[in-house]
Structure 1
Amino acid sequence: MVHFWNGNKSAIRQQFERNLLQIALQKVKPKHIINNDLTNYPKAEDEGEVFTRGTDILVTVAGNKKFAQGSYLMLPKPLCRGLLGCRVLIIHKNKLSEFSSVNEKQLKQLSVGIPATWADADLFRVNHYNVIEQGSLEERLIAVQNGECDYMALGANEAEAILVEYGHLTPDLVVEPSLLLYYPFPLVFYCHPEQAALLADVEHGLEQCCATGELDMLFEQTYGADVRAVKLHQRRVFHLTNPILPSELADYQSDLLPI
């Protein structure tokens, strides 16, 4: 039994990351059974201690400061093509005209809502954005709906799905069509420090899935329609730096980034 912690993220990410682990392990150890743990931890310190609670493996952003150095093993192979760092804005539909002409300085002065404990809150602060970090994803969406925050910045892999999921609570929210915030924000596997063999199995399985095209197929099945819908290559791009990137991934750039 492999205990996979898959909480504190959107449903579409949970689906992709669970399926990703499943197909990787099937290549090497097809008898592995995955316990897909969807527990959400409201406190960052609780999330950072999941390996002390029986977790074997998880997916998180590379360099996530919630996890103390030495408390995990990292597989420095970016997953999901860096899509999580391609951020589109969720805004109230009445603000579409305002955002269509906003420049980078003006955007930084507006308030971005980020749920408590999300790893990108510090990243936005380092880049001098006006961050309101509190509550859950649902609460931050409602705050944008009610005008308490100006916008949220969600991964292009999840923005449309999240709007659908919470549409009954936030009917006036839309994906802003002209802007893209980009920062290198690769998702990677973190493993329990005593589970090096499991991480090696996952690495070998991923290599085989890359060779067969199964990873590209999973990406397309899960995210393809949503990525095409947000039209990344037609957007103005504001670049942010990511100070938490580990040295192994210091030069990482998503291949989805508009040229």
Structure 2
Amino acid sequence: MLVFAKHASGALWTITYPRPLDETDERTQYPVALLKLALDKTGVNYELKPSDRILLTGKAMRQLRENREVNIVWSMTDSQREKELTPIRIPIAKGLIGLRVFAVSTDKKSKFDNLLSLNDMRRLVPIQGEEWPDTKILQANGFNVFTVPDYREAYAMIIQGKGDFFPRSVMEINAELQAQGSSKGLHLEENFALYYPTAMYYFVSASNKILANLIETGLKRAIDDGSFEALFQSTYSPILASLDIDERKIFTLENPLLPIETPLNNEKLWYKPELD
């Protein structure tokens, strides 16, 4: 603790996160706002800035492992990422990254009309990213997954009629469909969702334990004083309401990639939907 206090109270901390495709994107604003909140709770002098170039998740993770360009990344966890990096095991969006609704094309909407069970859904082909943990989770649950390099390509494939649906987190889909535009024949499927237990964490490099301790301390203080929950609710309650989550049939999947250290028993860290 003395070593931590000495480092934390020293000179300016420069904390660099991956520059997104669009810095006005709502998907980036919440993790940055929460990180600022956590750092403010510690009282340290810091500068928080994006990387010089745009870094999507796969590249950002590689750069973080090599201590290049960025010193923090937020992403969905899995066992491999936790072996290679230092996770801060507080799910920054309370597990919403695992609550998935679907982007579908006009031509494929009818495939959901008579869907009654998870087995029915397994007959449909989801699209996911090549390096995403979600791909392995869906495959482990019996889905035949069509993979693409990134989420933009996934939307292009849906528009072209490849695959049947693109599962996206409730945190992501509104902003993405708005960016794609309604003229492209994309729709939000209205009746179903998938849920698998997982967490989006802040990750730092394996050698940067002091930064990990600093951010974890700030997050815990924000949880204790209610400011974490206030930011979460102000950000995501309107989104969940707009997606009619309470009215959807939600199928639960197993997550074989979930590390055993995931704090699933700490109920205040999680948003829990009504599951089928």
Conserved? CA contact 1:59–1:188, under 8 Å: yes
Which position in structure 1 is the counterpart of 2:27? 13
Name the SS for the 1:188 alignment partner: strand
Range with bigger deviation, 190-199 or 9-18: 9-18
Which position in structure 2 is the counterpart of 1:28? 42
**Structure 2: distance between partners of 1:49 and 1:142:** 27
- Scaled by the length of structure 1, what TM-score is found? 0.87
Can you list the C-alpha shifts for 1:113-152, whole angstroms capped at 9, x where unaligned? 1123222111111111110111321221121122112110
Structure 1 position 6, deviation (Å): 5.6
CA gap of 1:110–1:234, structure 2 versus 1, over 3 A, is: same
The one of 143, 146, 153 equivalent to 1:139 is 153
Name the SS for the 1:3 alignment partner: strand
Conserved? CA contact 2:74–2:203, under 8 Å: yes
**Structure 1: distance between partners of 2:101 and 2:171:** 9
- Write the mapping of 1:154-169 to structure 2, written as runs, cut at 5 A: 154-167=168-181
The one of 58, 63, 70 equivalent to 2:78 is 63
Amino acid aligned to 1:162? E
Which position in structure 2 is the counterpart of 1:178? 191
- Scaled by the length of structure 2, what TM-score is found? 0.82
Say yes or no: does 1:110 pair with 2:142: no
CA gap of 1:224–1:255, structure 2 versus 1, over 3 A, is: closer
**Structure 2: distance between partners of 1:45 and 1:233:** 36
Range with bigger deviation, 210-219 or 19-28: 210-219
**Structure 1: distance between partners of 2:136 and 2:22:** 17
Conserved? CA contact 1:100–1:178, under 8 Å: no
Say yes or no: does 1:125 pair with 2:134: no
CA gap of 1:136–1:62, structure 2 versus 1, over 3 A, is: closer
Conserved? CA contact 1:91–1:151, under 8 Å: yes
The one of 204, 214, 218 equivalent to 1:201 is 214
Name the SS for the 2:211 alignment partner: helix
Which position in structure 1 is the counterpart of 2:105? 92
Say yes or no: does 1:213 pair with 2:229: no
**Structure 1: distance between partners of 2:29 and 2:193:** 24
Amino acid aligned to 2:235? T
**Structure 2: distance between partners of 1:82 and 1:29:** 27
Structure 1 position 104, deviation (Å): 1.8
Structure 1 position 109, deviation (Å): 2.0
The one of 236, 243, 254 equivalent to 2:249 is 236
Can you list the C-alpha shifts for 1:194-230, whole angstroms capped at 9, x where unaligned? 2212111111111221233222222233322211111
Amino acid aligned to 1:172? G
Name the SS for the 1:189 alignment partner: strand
**Structure 2: distance between partners of 1:186 and 1:9:** 23
Which position in structure 2 is the counterpart of 1:257? 273
Structure 1 position 35, deviation (Å): 2.1
Q: Max radius of gyration: which structure? A: 2
Range with bigger deviation, 30-39 or 194-203: 30-39
- How much identity, in percent, do the aligned residues show? 21
Which position in structure 1 is the counterpart of 2:202? 189
CA gap of 1:148–1:85, structure 2 versus 1, over 3 A, is: same
Which position in structure 2 is the counterpart of 1:40? 55
**What is the aligned residue count?**
255
**Structure 1: distance between partners of 2:98 and 2:185:** 25
**Structure 2: distance between partners of 1:215 and 1:68:** 23
